[in-house]
């Protein structure tokens, strides 16, 4: 399947000094866990566990490559429509990963941030998510954002409500509403837009993920299912990115 790029409208990312990678922020739609299991005649839940292994290797590799920001789509606001058994397993898996992997992640210098409507997650998990963010907040290595109960339309709608309330309260004027103000009310406030979005599994859609933030993001679609995604695949995506000419609406 050919790799696909589309250029949309948005904000030009900040400039930076030359480093190991030609970009600051990579976003990933980790798709294909269930299909990976189906192809092997395994329970679909096994695919999710293998997907965690792929994520761990990707985080390690991104850290080695000195990537600044990595944002991954772990659980969408639409995923609640899946079976009760699958949702229950995923919540337990999130808890397990935090219990077993947080210490290593923290020692590696990563700073964790969970984005999305976290109030919709199970109470015990909410406490663990908050504790993980607190534990790693002073780290200066890879900034790892994990999207949980995330939906971009929900995110934008919530931002609009917050801004409207500020106008009603007289804290800001209508004229003060700018794209920068809107961006500061998103779940990703303070994080630069991703220059590259990788989608595994071959599907050609954004799936309600980082719609505002991906205005000028280069898209890289690979047929490789997420559990099979490797550092080599990551490097191939970066290599493809370097071949793109990013015009931001210009010539």
Could you give the domains of the chain? 25-151+192-242 (3.40.1180.10)
Residue 79 appears among annotated catalytic residues: yes
**Nearest by Cα to 246 from 15, 87, 91:** 15
Please write the tens of the pLDDT for every residue from 80-98: 999 999 999 999 999 999 9
Residue with token string 């589309």: 6
Residue 15 has pLDDT above 70, yes or no: no
Please write the tens of the pLDDT for every residue from 174-217: 999 999 999 999 999 999 999 999 999 999 999 999 999 999 99
**Rounded to the nearest 10 degrees, what angle do helices 84-107 and 44-64 cross at?**
20
Query: What's the pTM value of the predicted model, to 2 decimals?
Result: 0.90
Query: Among the options 79, 139, 184, 208, which is catalytic?
Result: 79
19 against 41, higher pLDDT? 41
Task: Look at residue 76 in the predicted model and tell me its pLDDT.
Answer: 98
Rounded to the nearest 10 degrees, how much is the dihedral formed by the CA atoms of 16, 17, 20, 26? 0
Task: Look at residue 248 in the predicted model and tell me its pLDDT.
Answer: 80
Task: Look at residue 250 in the predicted model and tell me its pLDDT.
Answer: 76
E-strand stretches of 19-161: 25-29, 69-76, 111-115, 143-150
Asked if residues 213 and 182 have their Cβ atoms less than 8 Å apart, the reply is no
Please write the tens of the pLDDT for every residue from 224-247: 999 999 999 999 999 999 999 888
12 against 144, higher pLDDT? 144
Residue 68 has pLDDT above 70, yes or no: yes
Task: Look at residue 59 in the predicted model and tell me its pLDDT.
Answer: 98
Residue 251 appears among annotated catalytic residues: no
Q: Which of 120-129, 152-161, 239-248 has the lowest mean pLDDT?
A: 239-248
Task: Look at residue 251 in the predicted model and tell me its pLDDT.
Answer: 67
Query: Among the options 31, 33, 149, 193, which is catalytic?
Result: 31
């Amino acid at each position: 399947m050919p790799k696909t790029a589309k250029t949309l409208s948005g904000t030009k990312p900040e400039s930076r000094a030359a480093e190991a990678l030609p970009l600051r922020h990579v976003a990933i739609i980790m798709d294909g866990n269930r299909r990976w299991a189906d192809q092997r005649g395994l329970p679909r839940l096994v695919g999710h566990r293998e997907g965690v292994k792929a994520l761990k290797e990707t985080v390690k590799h991104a850290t080695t490559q000195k990537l600044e920001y990595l944002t991954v789509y772990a659980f969408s606001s639409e995923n609640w429509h899946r079976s009760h058994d699958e949702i229950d397993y995923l919540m337990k898996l999130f808890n397990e990963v935090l219990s077993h992997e947080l210490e290593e992640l923290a020692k590696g210098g990563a700073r964790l941030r969970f984005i999305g409507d976290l109030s919709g997650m199970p109470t015990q998990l909410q406490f663990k998510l908050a504790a993980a963010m607190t534990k790693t907040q002073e780290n200066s290595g890879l900034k790892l954002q994990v999207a949980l109960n995330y939906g971009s339309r929900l995110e934008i709608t919530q931002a609009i409500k917050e801004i409207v309330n500020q106008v009603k309260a007289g804290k800001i004027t209508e004229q003060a509403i700018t794209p920068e103000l809107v961006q500061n009310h998103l779940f990703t406030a303070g994080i630069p837009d991703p220059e590259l979005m990788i989608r595994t599994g071959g599907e050609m859609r954004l799936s309600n993920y980082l719609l505002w933030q991906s205005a000028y993001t280069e898209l890289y679609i690979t047929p490789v299912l997420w559990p099979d995604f490797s550092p080599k695949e990551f490097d191939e995506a970066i290599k493809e990115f370097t071949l793109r000419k990013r015009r931001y609406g210009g010539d």
